[in-house]
Structure 1
Amino acid sequence: MYGVGGRGGSRRITLTRAAGAVAVATALLALSACGGSGSGSSADGKGAKVALILKEFTNPYWISMEKSAKAEAAKRGVSLQVSAGKSDDDTTSQINQIDEAIAAGDKGIIIALNGDAVNSALQQAKSAGLVVVALDTPPIPSSVANVTYATDNTQAGTLDGRWMASKLGGGKADIAMLDDLANQVITVDIDRDHGFLNGMGIPVGNKNLNGAEPKSGHYTGGKGGSYKIACQLATNGSETGGQSAMETCLSKDSSINVVYAINEPAAEGAAKALKAAGRKDVTVVAIDGGCSNLPFVSSGEIGASAGQAPGTMAKDGVDAIATFARSGTKPTNQQGQDFYNTGTKLYTDSPQTGVPSITSAAASKVCWG
């Protein structure tokens, strides 16, 4: 799951909420007058204006996604404007950026949403004739977007959990759960957390919330064994958040030997805290599969990471709106799913029987494709 400010490329200056609302109202009136068909492109779709709205600009994951989207936009002749929130939970900036896209007469919005507070603005965009493509994070409900290109985050977490259970070989699991947010519920956070627990063979408790699992008991994955949830904290998906959370967890329970992290920045922060504490007997798993993270995998500081394909997500998003601009055909999710699965693979240099994986060397050829 989870880009640095000041890089090249065009980014919109965020309007204030009040100015954005006035602009949206004006745009909606104009669209109504012309049948709500949108503007900003020629008949073949070239020159169509598209807004890419990321979660934030500090995580390498979003940097990779922005790079791929720009490359595909150049290939397809799409005019791409890039903006983002200030952090993983900044919905206010994203709402303003959605308003701005509507006012600009864009053909579509590609967004990695920071929370369901953006839903009404996205619905307004759809009413104005824009196609809404979600990346990485499916909205709740999924109908807020025309399509979501994402990892099967439950599957990714499950791969981590199955690998960890096998790696333990029946030993006790003293677990730290390093999740994303504490102030709101997002599908990625829940799906990855619950996927890991499922892979370990630990009941999740409440399918709609993190932290409702039994705090101790018996895990059934691998050879099975006893477990304890020693600590569960939010990291905001950042390295500093992961380091701080890991330090706090170690102060609560110095026997922690298993760490699940929502993403690789959080995992890298946890690895830094573990190294400072002299702990080499702790196994960390994460989700992302970033190229820059592979040295952590090859060194064993991160035991395994479920790799995603943000480049594919971004390319598919640009292609979907370019196709809509050319033909009027709107993208849809896979049949029977609330998203379009872009795939995941487990990267590890400690393969476990029965858990499909590839090495860090093999991953270097496909990471973040």
Structure 2
Amino acid sequence: MRSMRSTGWAQSPARTRITAAAVTAAAVTCALTLAGCGSNSGGGAGGSDGAVTLGIVELNLSNPFFGTLEKATESAAKAKGWKVMKAEAKTPGDSATQVTAVENMINNKVKAIVLNPANPTALVNVVKKARDKGILVVTVNTNLTPIDAADGTFATDNVAAGKLIGQWAAASAPSSPRIGMLDFDLSDGAAGGRHNGFLEGYGIDVKSPLVAGTALTKGTVDTGQSAMENLLSAHPDINTVYTINEPTAHGAYTAIKNKGLAGKVSLVSVDGACTGVEDVKAGIIGATAMQFPSRMGQQAVEAVAAYLKDGTKPKSGLTDTGTVLITDKPVAGVESQTSAWGLENCWGTK
């Protein structure tokens, strides 16, 4: 994504996308007012008085990653004097609410939309409808499928993130490595990218005899713990664990600790939340790949500004917003920063 955090640990991407029932259009309409359920001063929401209105469609904001991303996007837009029209998915994977949100934004004639899609394909048709109306649509955090269904994407290169932790894990591996992989739905772009990147960085494929077993999680602490318990029951010799995100890693560590294996199993992950970096500092996670959600929102707004100025569209496809490996156990040949640096640059509650 994909993290499952509310206070401390909550939901995440791979920032999870789990199919959920749609909410009513009326509830969505309330969520779509400018800066809340209030009236739009002056002109229509699209800016009939000459003002610019930017639509922001996020995933569930109980997740601090998405909250950080939305705040950065809104702040960058307001710094330019724009109005904003916001909506969020109510639960992970709630694409139905997002579709209704985009339709409302089209009707309100917003100039552009910054979208964090709950599903890579479910938003494609409504995004096409918006673009056909001359509305610029850029995605953040994750892309649509195909990626050029949006005008541009500002996100982590998840393959590169996975490759970093795979390289670190390979360089840190014991003499007889046995790998467990705690994934999220691999049709999800972030999940699939991280999974494949880890294997590439490690220098193996999923059929390698080094891979003891794999399991799907929902990207949460609880599912990370239960999946790790199951893997350890079937493969008690696992000593290296790839996790889709830091909440999953935190849950997996609980299972490892309960088995008396703390210090004997190395965990790697992706996110860079302050809670995850604290786990690196505490020795719970060996290495994590830090993402930068604020950059995603800020760069998306700059792309919208360029388009509104002279019609210049962003680069088609992915614009990588960067990844940094965080570990207190650096290895030769893999550039990294310490947990101290990570705590200065992390996102979420410190």
TM-score bracket for this pair, using the shorter chain length: 0.7 to 0.9
8 Å contact kept, 1:160–1:304 = yes
Runs of at least 5 residues in structure 1 that lack an aligned partner in the other structure? 6-13, 21-37, 204-212, 217-226
In the alignment of these two chains, the number of paired residues is 316
Q: CA, structure 1 residues 361+146, in 2 after alignment: closer, same or farther (shift >3 Å)? A: same
| TM-aligned CA deviation for residue 41 of structure 1 | 6.3
Q: CA, structure 1 residues 326+16, in 2 after alignment: closer, same or farther (shift >3 Å)? A: farther
Q: CA, structure 1 residues 154+308, in 2 after alignment: closer, same or farther (shift >3 Å)? A: same
Percent of aligned pairs with the same amino acid: 35
8 Å contact kept, 1:65–1:310 = yes
8 Å contact kept, 1:284–1:301 = yes
2:207 is matched with 214
What letter is aligned with 2:322? G
Q: 1: distance between equivalents of 2:325 and 2:27?
A: 46
Q: CA, structure 1 residues 81+352, in 2 after alignment: closer, same or farther (shift >3 Å)? A: same
TM-score by length of 1: 0.78
8 Å contact kept, 1:56–1:88 = yes
Q: CA, structure 1 residues 352+327, in 2 after alignment: closer, same or farther (shift >3 Å)? A: same
Q: CA, structure 1 residues 276+60, in 2 after alignment: closer, same or farther (shift >3 Å)? A: farther
| TM-aligned CA deviation for residue 323 of structure 1 | 3.4
Write out per-residue CA displacement over residues 112-155 of structure 1, whole angstroms, 9 at most, x where no aligned residue.
21221111111111112211111121221111110101111111
Q: 2: distance between equivalents of 1:285 and 1:84?
A: 30
What letter is aligned with 1:263? N
User: Which of residues 156, 160, 180 in structure 2 aligns to 1:155?
Assistant: 160
CA RMSD of aligned residues (A): 2.7
Write out per-residue CA displacement over residues 184-210 of structure 1, whole angstroms, 9 at most, x where no aligned residue.
x1221111100000111112xxxxxxx
Write out per-residue CA displacement over residues 59-95 of structure 1, whole angstroms, 9 at most, x where no aligned residue.
2211221221222122122222332223432222221
Q: 2: distance between equivalents of 1:147 and 1:132?
A: 7
Q: 2: distance between equivalents of 1:341 and 1:275?
A: 36
Write out per-residue CA displacement over residues 155-199 of structure 1, whole angstroms, 9 at most, x where no aligned residue.
110000000000015x222222111226xx122111110000011
What letter is aligned with 2:230? T
Off by >3 Å, runs of 4+ in structure 1: 1-5, 14-20, 325-328
| TM-aligned CA deviation for residue 215 of structure 1 | 4.8
Q: Aligned to 1:311, what secondary structure does the other structure show?
A: helix
Write out per-residue CA displacement over residues 304-341 of structure 1, whole angstroms, 9 at most, x where no aligned residue.
001111110011112222333344332223xxxx2011
What letter is aligned with 2:228? M
Q: Aligned to 2:267, what secondary structure does the other structure show?
A: strand
TM-score by length of 2: 0.82
Is 2:345 the partner of 1:366? yes
Is 2:27 the partner of 1:48? no
Runs of at least 5 residues in structure 2 that lack an aligned partner in the other structure? 7-21, 29-44
8 Å contact kept, 1:158–1:197 = yes
Q: 1: distance between equivalents of 2:176 and 2:48?
A: 60
User: Which of residues 269, 292, 299 in structure 2 aligns to 1:316?
Assistant: 299
Q: Aligned to 1:83, what secondary structure does the other structure show?
A: strand
Q: CA, structure 1 residues 180+78, in 2 after alignment: closer, same or farther (shift >3 Å)? A: farther
1:132 is matched with 137
